[in-house]
Structure 1
Amino acid sequence: KPATLETGKKINVPLFIKEGETIKIDTRTGAYMGRA
């Protein structure tokens, strides 16, 4: 599902991620890596 980061960048994350959760993002690709 689409999500917007604090920086304003939009990425896709799995459906189980809830608003306010901290996640890891690959800064080279912008892809979701996992929960932090």
Structure 2
Amino acid sequence: IMAGRTNAQIAEALATLAGIVARDHQPGREDEARLE
């Protein structure tokens, strides 16, 4: 059970980080807004 919970927590953390990275690296929008 402990290993399963740990794996689930790791997977959830990775998914969260992946979502943050994807948001931070969206092509164009934020960078163009800053340049304007």
Which range, TM-score by smaller chain? Answer: under 0.3
Higher helix share: 2
Higher strand share: 1
Task: Give the number of the structure with larger relative contact order, counting CA–CA contacts within 8 Å between residues 6 or more apart.
Answer: 1
